[in-house]
A and B are shown apart, each in its own frame.
Chain A
Amino acid sequence: MKHDPDISVKLGRLSLKNPLVLASGVMGTSPELLHRVALSGAGAVTAKSCGPTLRTGHPNPVMVAWEHGLLNAIGLTNPGVDDEVKLLMDAKQRLNPLNVPLIASIFAGSAEEFGEVASIVAEAEPDLVEVNISCPNVHDDFGLPFAADAKSAAAVTRAVKQKIGGIPIAVKLAPNVPDIGRIAKSVVDAGSDVITAINTMPGMVIDVDAAQPVLHNRSGGLSGPALKPIAVRCVAEIAQFVDVPIIGTGGVLTGRDAAEMMMAGATAVGVGSALWYRGPDAIKLIKAELQDFLRENGYKSVCEIFRKAL
């Protein structure tokens, strides 16, 4: 009798039943929605980023599909970290019995403020804290993302690390930098336990009949199939520079896409836009396809494909 391939992975100190992680931003901050995605088979789930105070986000339109992907500018809608802590606690109670780790996500306007948000979010005791230094949609409020510069990225990492009370952190990097490997190295040297790569790519879609950008924010973050080759390259480059685990995120829609991301050096694989292309239960489908791929190719464990293409 053939056994199912082992698809469990270790993401630093965390044990994941499978490598598929709900990417931050998708499904917002609601505990019920994180619960639903966990029930659909996710290895871990990431809440939408929270900041120091409530943000309603950008006016509509906030999302549009185009030929090869999606473009969104939600604008970091979140209830503020004080209320987010309560939501994370509720989510944790729902996820614990399912054995699905909870990843919180934070953003802020300065390294010092990142530290303050980190110390509050730590009260919810998430299993990992993602540090979002790379949202492409809030230039007007926050200026250039910290992910654009190795020194600022490291400063934020240190500030969070000091205040997070021993919870592991994953700094989330931006694709639109000249040297992502060097930036990854600087945040790992500053204490990042995991790297999440990548955030969405800045983009714009103009409707030529309307002669206007479709999104109210004009530009947005590009995700979906068009992002995947960019993400795979970034992950492969980061994997050459650092030894920490990588959550490879960008355009993964199928089990074969997930395998590709892992062959590039990702330990876990973020899933986001797939929930539009394949529905809210996308992770269940991707997980089954990943298992099929491993079985058909004679792999006994998903670990065997890790870094295989490097």
Chain B
Amino acid sequence: MGGKFEARKVTAISKINPVTSWIRFDGDIYAQPGQFVMVWLPKIGEKPFSIAELNPLGLLVVDVGPFSHALQALQVGDSLWVKGPLGQGFSITGERLLLVGGGYGSAPLLALAKKARAQNITVDVCLGARSEAGLLLSDAFLELGCQVSYATEDGSLGWHGLVTDIVEQKIQAIAYDLLCACGPTGLLSALSNICKTHRLDNQLSWEAHMRCGMGLCGSCLVSQNIDELLPVGWLACYDGPVFYQKFRD
């Protein structure tokens, strides 16, 4: 069970843009793509992170506050503590996947794309952000042989508008077996509706304020007010973060 902390050493740390680092650790993690870990830095704090790479464990860290700032200041050889893997991740079904990432939501999708490509599954990726600088990991998806489309709200790269626009276009043009997505709640709600209309099976990774990460404190409830398709009392840390919605047999 994943309820204990385990020390891990940083083996590599690289900046992928001015505020975002890729941190790699010693050793693999036996997890599904989409599962997450709680990361503890003694005397500083603890936060949840989705797993961006399984072999070896890798995390995408964006400098948004004191904790992520401290993580980015780590040096190769430093230790941090990891609890997990926790929750339910993505489960690949079918021959053709559409992955949709909003901003930093592309991190867990990279681990998923890697696993799917290893099984020779066709993977199309739609990435959306406010501007080009917010589109993350696109080279990594391309290296895996994914077809990648972009949408930016300011039009700085790809489609000028919302990522849901290009998702609609792709779904109408191509018969996907499954849509997997990670990103802000508004994006996921919109995708949930699009999939409902097209009766497309989907797995959406919801974000919520996590505290214990162990299904006990109740902080990470994703309410039915956010998506009526969720069951009553759905916990992002235990039942999720990924929710499976099936329309087809």
Verify B3–A64 contact, CB threshold 8 A: yes
Q: A31 — nearest CB in chain B belongs to which residue?
A: B233
Measured as residues with beta carbon below 8 angstroms from the partner, the interface class of chain A is 35 or more
Chain B residues with Cβ below 8 Å from A214 are 5, 40
Stretch at the interface among B68-76, B115-123, B178-186, B209-217: B209-217
**A48-90 vs B: 1/0 string, CB under 8 Å?**
1000000001011111111000101010010000000000000
Residue with the greatest number of chain A CB neighbours at <10 A, chosen from B5, B47, B218, B235: B218
- A28 contacts B by Cβ under 8 Å: yes
- A150 contacts B by Cβ under 8 Å: no
Verify A26–B216 contact, CB threshold 8 A: yes
Bound CA span A53–B224, Å: 27
Verify A59–B218 contact, CB threshold 8 A: no
Residue with the greatest number of chain B CB neighbours at <10 A, chosen from A25, A212, A276: A276
- B contacts with A: majority SS: loop
Chain A residues with Cβ below 8 Å from B159 are none
Bound CA span A180–B140, Å: 62
Q: Which of B201-249 contact A (CB under 8 A)?
A: 211-219, 221, 223-224, 231-233, 235, 238-239
Beyond A60-B46, A64-B5, A64-B83, is A27–B211 a contact (Cβ under 8 Å)?
Answer: no
- B7 contacts A by Cβ under 8 Å: yes
Stretch at the interface among A34-42, A102-110, A133-141, A291-299: A34-42
Residue positions of A touching B, CB distance < 8 A: 25-30, 32-37, 39, 48, 57, 59-66, 70, 72, 74, 77, 207, 209-212, 214, 216, 272-273, 275-277, 279-280
CB pairs A–B below 8 angstroms (11 shown): A60-B45, A60-B47, A62-B212, A63-B211, A64-B4, A65-B214, A207-B7, A211-B42, A212-B42, A212-B43, A214-B5
